[in-house]
Amino acid sequence: MKKVYYSFLLVCLCCLNLHAQKSSYRFQSGFDAQECDDLLQLNNAFVDTLSLDKHDYLIPEYEFLHQSESIGLDNMWNLWMRSDDTAVISLRGTTSDSKSVLADFYCAMLPAKGEIVLHKKDTLQYYLATDERAAVHAGFLIGFGYLAKDMLPTIDSLYQSGHHNFLVTGHSQGGSLSYYISAWLLHLKRKGIYPLMQVKTYACAPTKVGNMYFAYDYDNITAAKWSFSVVNTADPVPEMPLTTQQLEEDMNAPNPIMNLAKRFDRMPFFQRIFLKKAFNNMEKKATKSSEAYQKYLGKYCGKFIQKELPELKIPNTINTTYFVRPGVPITLLVNPAYYAYFQKVKKTAYYHHGIVPYRFLLREYYSGLSDLEPPQTDPNK
């Protein structure tokens, strides 16, 4: 009840402090480089906390309204309001906290719909996909559960007060989580809970977040024009987690690959023996690899997380490690100008993953964006 009351006051504050000037923005489908650049800067507010006190200087058309406490696996979200009355939800990426790191590496797969017991008297019914075969990354799903439960009263208050347009964004782990938040909101819309809601998503530097059936479902509900996966091609993080595709678990049936043995029987003897052996070896090794993956990055990591969140209860895992990334790809290809710009920068292990490199590459491929400040010592900031 206290949280609902607080959310109501937050929305009232939002309505009283809307920007007086006419907005240069219009909420609409399609990739907008300026919008993406703005959201990268808002995501940086989790690192540069001073920007929260100087948000009007940072980007005048975005007003900072709220930052959550650290919840779940050290997750956090910010609420901003753009001058065209678009609510912006930004999600924090991985932190140095062990719980946050465990979230990245807990690579079991869980059903894309079900329920999570967050605390003994606090259960979240979640629905991220219609397809019964859809599965999602366990560590991120747990983080999503705490975030969704925390932000729901605020989202409901915003919607009831007439704010129907939402931007969802995040960088790194936050980008991965943004898929789940937007899928959740869009399925609430489809169920008639928020019938007028529209959600647009910019997942910046995200990892892979679910299996192919989740990606199919997500790309269907976002209609290939409302969700964008923004990736620097030199960034290693979007290549994670490792993935293994099993024939029987991860492919539609019937499929021609499962019937290859019959085709082999029509081939000459030595070709038939060679191809059957190669095929069987690949199939067995894929299964063995997936089993090891689920054992070490699934079962064992799950035990570590259970110690951190002893009241947590999640659905049974699904036998798959076929991770893919949904959303319309916005591919920022590195080039000589990129390396020349950062040649004097002290490069950290993940410097390609930083927000400044992403903003630089946006300017390489999209016109009309303001110039960047000179490179910092650490381009991740």
Structure tokens at 211: 């299996």
Helices (H) and strands (E) in the chain, counts: 14, 11
Q: According to the model, what pLDDT value does residue 206 have?
A: 97
Alpha carbons within 13 A on the beta-carbon side of 72: 33
Q: According to the model, what pLDDT value does residue 56 have?
A: 53
Residues 6+ apart with CB under 8 A from 295: none
CA torsion sign for 348, 352, 358, 359 is: positive
Q: According to the model, what pLDDT value does residue 5 have?
A: 47
Report CA Rg, the chain. Answer: 22
pLDDT (tens place) for every residue of the chain, 381 residues total = 555 445 545 555 555 454 444 567 889 999 999 999 999 999 998 876 655 665 555 788 999 999 999 999 999 999 999 999 999 999 999 999 999 999 999 999 999 999 999 998 899 999 999 999 999 999 999 999 999 999 999 999 999 999 999 999 999 999 999 999 999 999 999 999 999 999 999 999 999 999 999 999 999 999 989 999 999 999 999 999 988 888 778 788 777 776 666 667 777 777 778 777 877 777 788 888 888 888 878 888 989 999 999 999 999 999 999 999 999 999 999 999 999 988 877 666 678 999 999 999 999 999 989 888 765 555 544
Alpha helices in 191-335 (DSSP H): 212-221, 247-250, 260-264, 269-293, 301-308
Q: According to the model, what pLDDT value does residue 20 have?
A: 42
Alpha helices in 196-268 (DSSP H): 212-221, 247-250, 260-264
Query: Which residues are 113's β-sheet partners?
Result: 127
Structure tokens at 117: 């017991």
Q: Classify burial at 124, counting beta carbons within 10 Å of its beta carbon; exposed 0-12, middle 13-18, buried 19 or more.
A: middle
Q: According to the model, what pLDDT value does residue 349 have?
A: 66
Distance CA 169, CA 206 (A): 10
Q: According to the model, what pLDDT value does residue 52 have?
A: 64
CA torsion sign for 272, 278, 284, 290 is: negative
Residue found by looking up tokens 């990892």 in the block: 207
Q: According to the model, what pLDDT value does residue 31 have?
A: 97
- Strands, E, within the chain: which ranges? 62-67, 77-82, 87-91, 109-111, 113-119, 122-127, 135-137, 165-171, 198-204, 227-232, 328-332
Q: According to the model, what pLDDT value does residue 47 have?
A: 77
Q: How many residues does the chain have?
A: 381
Let me know: does 44 contact 208? Beta carbons within 8 Å. no
Q: According to the model, what pLDDT value does residue 258 have?
A: 67
